[in-house]
């Protein structure tokens, strides 16, 4: 890396990805996102421009002009993923999914040394695996050596189990590995005992925050003058105010149900007569309407009380409505969700509460992004050095990890077969090239 190296953040949202890169010394030159509130949040916290662009139609040459003709060190970003999400019907032809390939076209025009692409695990089986295979093939066709892996970001120190697909590529022709895992994790739903220290728990994540306020706009002082644990100390860094905003309790409409929920329980653990209408309708529809399994999305669970001694479940735009505090009879506050997403306490957002929680739920956790950025710096620094310099090779799919499970669903097997065929064709091509040389 040199002082002229730049980073560009696409589909930047409120700046989670960019915050992590900035914390690693790679503050993006600019971000771009269609959401005006998210762009305002980005600029408020990152301190660089965020352009409110519709990247589905924006001319890549516009972005090329914004970087002044330079070839960036990295392009980072996670295109909107609703069409692939397992939380709802998955549709390979969803127009939002075209943004994934727009990301590819922008990478082609900007020609960064590296790209880091993040998306939901539903991408793995979209279109029978053909969407992912096509994306990887086109990245390789642009001259990038690529690794793809499903990662649970809890292994990078995030206090929630959050499964994401990461695709990292470089046009330097070097082989590389993903950053090492740092933690074991257990949210009750997803777990991995790897012999590493446990990731911060939900209790660790929200420790030190004072009692939630009842008035919107209130600033809440910390519960103590000194941090209560390492994670609390990390979140308080650079927060000179000594207080937080967006830590406001919402009075739940489902008070009776919430009071009956024990840690780890969801709506389905309650008597059916206490299910709220939308939950009952969704639960019944999954059984009775004949909707194909692959289009049903995730099982409805409605409200759920989290376990404080485990990692949280995945923070989404519904978390401040559906996730119930481990010991208090209320949903999580927006600030608690932000902490679970590893946004520092100094972070402020633009927009109303619905917009803010959506920005938080859509973000790449800054702590995970920081781990990726530091790893990228290490890899890029090794290239061309005298110490452990990687050996350049032709662009190719270097490897992929679709699951850590011993078994695969038929849909995932289809994806694995397509990617394996791609790698085999590359190996055969290289062998023929060597034989004729």
- To the query of whether residue 81 is one of the catalytic residues in this protein, the response is yes
- What token pair was written down for 5? 């190296």
Cα atoms in the Cβ-side hemisphere of radius 13 Å centred on 217: 0
CB contact at 8 A, 151 and 163: yes
Q: Identify the bridge partners of residue 244 per DSSP, sorted by sequence position.
A: 220
Taking residue 436's Cβ as centre, other Cβ atoms within 10 Å add up to 6
Of 50, 81, 288, 337, the active-site residue reads 81
Three-class SS of the chain: CCCCCCEEEECCCCCHHHHHHHHCCCCCCEEECCCHHHHHHHHHHHCCEEECCCCCCCCHHHHHHHCCCCCCCEEEECCCCCCCCCCCCCCCCCHHHHHHHHHHHHHHHHCCCEEEEEEEHHHHHHHHHHHHHHHHHHHHHCCCEEEEEEEEHHHHCCCECCEEEEEEEECCCCCCCCCCCCCEEECCCCEECCCCCECCCHHHHHCCCCCCECCCCCCEECCCCCCCCHHHHHHHCCCCCCEECCCECCCCCCHHHHHHCCCCCEHHHCCHHHCCHHHHHHHHHHHHCCCCHHHHCCCCCCCEECCCCCCECCCCCCHHHHEECCCCCCECCHHHHHHHCCCCCCCCCCCCHHHHHHHHHHCCCHHHHHHHHHHHHHHHHHCCCCCCCCCCCCCCEEEEECCCCCCCCHHHHHHHHHHHHHHHHHHHHHHHHHHHC
- What token pair was written down for 426? 């590359």
Distance CA 337, CA 316 (A): 9
Distance CA 399, CA 129 (A): 16
At residue 198, φ and ψ (nearest 5 deg) are -70, 140
**Which residues are known catalytic residues?**
81
């Amino acid at each position: 890396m040199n002082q002229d190296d730049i980073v560009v953040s696409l589909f930047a949202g409120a700046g989670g990805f960019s915050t992590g890169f900035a914390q690693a010394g790679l503050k993006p030159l600019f971000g771009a996102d269609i959401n005006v509130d998210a762009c305002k949040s980005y600029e408020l916290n990152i301190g660089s421009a965020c352009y409110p662009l519709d990247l589905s139609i924006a001319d890549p040459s516009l972005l090329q002009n914004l970087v002044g003709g330079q070839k960036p060190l990295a392009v980072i970003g996670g295109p909107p993923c609703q069409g692939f999400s397992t939380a709802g019907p998955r549709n390979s032809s969803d127009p939002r999914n075209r943004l994934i390939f727009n990301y590819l076209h922008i990478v082609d025009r900007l020609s960064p040394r590296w790209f880091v692409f993040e998306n939901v695990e539903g991408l793995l089986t979209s279109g029978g695996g053909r969407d992912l295979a096509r994306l990887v093939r086109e990245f390789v066709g642009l001259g990038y050596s690529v690794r793809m892996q499903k990662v649970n970001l809890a292994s990078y120190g995030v206090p929630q189990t959050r499964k994401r697909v990461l695709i990292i590529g470089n046009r330097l022709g070097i082989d590389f590995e993903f950053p090492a895992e740092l933690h074991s994790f257990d949210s009750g739903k997803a777990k991995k005992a790897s012999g590493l220290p446990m990731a911060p728990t939900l209790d660790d994540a929200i420790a030190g925050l004072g009692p939630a306020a009842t008035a919107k706009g209130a600033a809440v002082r910390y519960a103590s003058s000194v941090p209560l644990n390492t994670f609390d100390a990390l979140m308080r860094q650079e927060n000179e105010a000594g207080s937080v905003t967006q830590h406001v309790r919402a009075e739940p409409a489902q008070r009776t149900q919430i009071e009956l929920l024990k840690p780890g329980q969801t709506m389905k653990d309650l008597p059916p007569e206490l299910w709220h209408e939308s939950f009952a309708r969704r639960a019944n529809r999954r059984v009775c309407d004949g909707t194909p399994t692959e289009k049903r999305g995730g099982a409805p669970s409605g409200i759920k009380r989290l376990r404080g001694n485990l990692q949280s479940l995945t923070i989404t735009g519904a978390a401040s409505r559906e996730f119930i505090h481990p010991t208090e009879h209320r949903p999580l506050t927006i600030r608690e969700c932000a902490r679970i997403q590893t946004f520092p306490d100094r972070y402020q957002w633009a927009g109303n509460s619905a917009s803010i929680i959506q920005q938080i739920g859509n973000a790449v956790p800054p702590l995970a992004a920081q781990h990726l950025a530091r790893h990228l710096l290490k890899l890029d620094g090794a290239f061309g050095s005298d110490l452990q310099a990687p050996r350049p090779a032709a662009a190719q799919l270097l490897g992929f990890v679709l699951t850590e499970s011993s078994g695969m669903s038929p849909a995932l097997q289809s994806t694995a077969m397509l990617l394996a065929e791609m790698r085999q064709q590359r190996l055969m091509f290289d062998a023929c090239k060597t034989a004729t040389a």
